[in-house]
A and B are shown apart, each in its own frame.
Chain A
Amino acid sequence: MQEQKSATLIQRIADMQEQEAISLAREMLDQGYDPIALLGHCREAMEIVGARYEKGEYFLPELMLAGEVLSAIGSLAKPLVQQRSLSMRDAGTVVIGTVHGDLHDIGKNIVTFMLDINGYNVVDLGIDVPVESFIASIREHKPQVVGLSGFLTVAFGSMKETIDAIAAAGFRDGLKIMIGGGQVDETVRNFTGADAFGLNAMEAISLCKGWIKG
């Protein structure tokens, strides 16, 4: 019975049935379903969404809507996991934000969510983040990975500026930097001086897993 519900939940998220997915998640949690397992289903659903995006069946709006469903379900489930999960959050620390000059946060929010449910301690600085905020956060949280997000082409200049400033502050050698956003590629990675780029949240997870070995 529960297995059936889990499969339905994954399918509804993956098929963009937003309200149906959220109400089913609420129902499952109300009936005492393990919130960590539920977040795991969100991750599975997001992998399906990502695969459909890769195949050209889904586009940016589907990623945005899936991100919205994820955050709605996340806000239902997270209060229930807090006590238990704090102890297992040792996969590593990631500081993430949308660089200054850019206000887009959909992709970043999905990456934050996915890192979060994969056990990373994520410090999300939000959008239009000044260089100094990244530096201050790195000083405070000592992350292994920094994620810079940006959708606009003007963001590439801000990414470079941010990475240069991280280097000037003496933190560059001690951490890995990944960039992401709709239009990043190897040319942009090279221009900004990042260690890697990713085109979706799954790539962000595998980059972090590769860099932070347990």
Chain B
Amino acid sequence: MPIPDLIIVGDRINPGFKSTNALIENEDIAGLQALAVRQVQAGAHYLDVTIGQRGSDDPQFLGEVIKALQDAVEVPLCFDYPNLAVQETCLKAYDPAKAGGRKPIVNSLAETRMEMLELLKIRPFEAVIMASEYLDGGVPKPARRCEDVAGVARRLSDVLIRDHGFAAREIFVDITINSLVSDTRGLTRMALDAIRQIRRDPALRGVHVIGGLTNIGNMLPPLEIDGVRLRHIMESAFLTVAIPLGFDTVMGTPWNPFVILPADDVVLQTFKEVTELTGMDAIRRLRKLWAT
């Protein structure tokens, strides 16, 4: 069953994908434009954009890429750099008029890099806020408990809404999705709990909850079940559990078959049981999917 109202940020313009890396290395602008068009045709509402290290080393090329992408598609772009200088290049190159007047997304702000707010001098934007790290008395710490994630989401959203005039719907809280195949520490369970906790917080009413969905299936065996790749079914399993909790925005590959799985689906069952386990027991349960 397809998923209504799911917001999709297409994640393919990223050198982490080998085919995209080749396009960037060859400066194949037409190829990058085609990749943008393909994502929008597949249902992307925004396109995430990073050309990796090249973006810092060669701002002029990054600017060219952004202009070319906006010539090809009308959806807003989401600039994926944790770095003020590169974001400046992105926001200066961005033309809202080519996106129906819509703001770009800065991906991402974090409690450890609030200087990113200086970018508001260039133009208004929507923001991904990274909830996987936070400041504890000035010291950066990884958020390992769902209270940490929900807490940093609340503090950052407060600042954006109260001090900088953001609307709640312009904020995307990134709860961080990890690879299930190596999740011995219950990080997926923690992310699911954090979604629930964020949705219970009245101060966070109206914000979006986003996550990098491609991660969930990273390094899973390249198996197929009824003609669908296991990693894609696992993405749907995450969505099937996370959407009822309040997850509403996917950073992912738009042509993957995002669906709500039936309750008796074997991958969904596995996902639910694995996320109740930690340590090697989680890995043993996952392995039952293909080993007898």
A-to-B contact residues, CB < 8 Å = 16, 56, 59-62, 64-65, 68, 103-104, 106, 151, 153, 182, 187
Contact = CB atoms under 8 A, between A and B. Distances in A.
B116 to A, nearest CB: 18
A129 to B, nearest CB: 15
Given A59-B221, A61-B284, A104-B182, 17 more contacts: A16-B287, A56-B222, A59-B181, A59-B290, A60-B181, A60-B219, A61-B283, A62-B287, A62-B291, A64-B182, A64-B184, A64-B280, A64-B283, A65-B287, A103-B185, A106-B182, A153-B16
B243 interface: no
Interface residue tally on B, bucketed by range: 10 to 19
Contact of A65 (B21, B220, B221, B280): B280
B127 interface: no
A43 to B, nearest CB: 21
B286 interface: yes
A64 B222 CA distance: 17
Given A68-B280, A153-B16, A61 B185 contact: no
A153 to B, nearest CB: 6
Interface in B183-236: 184-185, 219-222
B211 to A, nearest CB: 15
28 contacts: A16-B287, A56-B222, A59-B181, A59-B219, A59-B220, A59-B221, A59-B290, A60-B182, A60-B219, A61-B181, A61-B284, A61-B286, A61-B287, A62-B291, A64-B182, A64-B184, A64-B280, A64-B283, A65-B280, A65-B283, A65-B284, A65-B287, A104-B182, A151-B179, A151-B182, A153-B16, A182-B219, A187-B21
A64 B182 CA distance: 8
Contacts of A153: 16
A182 B219 CA distance: 8
Contacts of B280: 64-65, 68
Contacts of B291: 16, 62
Contacts of B185: 103
Contacts, number: 35
Contacts of B220: 59
A106 B280 CA distance: 11
**Pairs of residues from A and B, 6 with the lowest C-beta to C-beta distance, nearest first:** A59-B221, A61-B287, A61-B283, A60-B219, A68-B280, A60-B181
B278 to A, nearest CB: 13
Contacts of A65: 280, 283-284, 287
Contacts of B286: 61
Contacts of B182: 60, 64, 104, 106, 151
Interface in B119-146: none
Contacts of B16: 153
Contacts of B283: 61, 64-65
Interface in B244-292: 280, 283-284, 286-287, 290-291
A104 B184 CA distance: 9
A151 B16 CA distance: 13
Contacts of A151: 179, 182
Nearest to B286: A61
A61 B220 CA distance: 9
Contacts of A62: 287, 291
A189 B283 CA distance: 29
A56 B184 CA distance: 23
A187 B219 CA distance: 19
Contacts of A106: 182
Contacts of A60: 181-182, 219
B92 to A, nearest CB: 25
Contacts of B287: 16, 61-62, 65
B73 to A, nearest CB: 26
A113 to B, nearest CB: 15
B192 to A, nearest CB: 19
Q: Which of B182, B185, B284 has the most CB of A within 10 A?
A: B182
Nearest to A157: B53
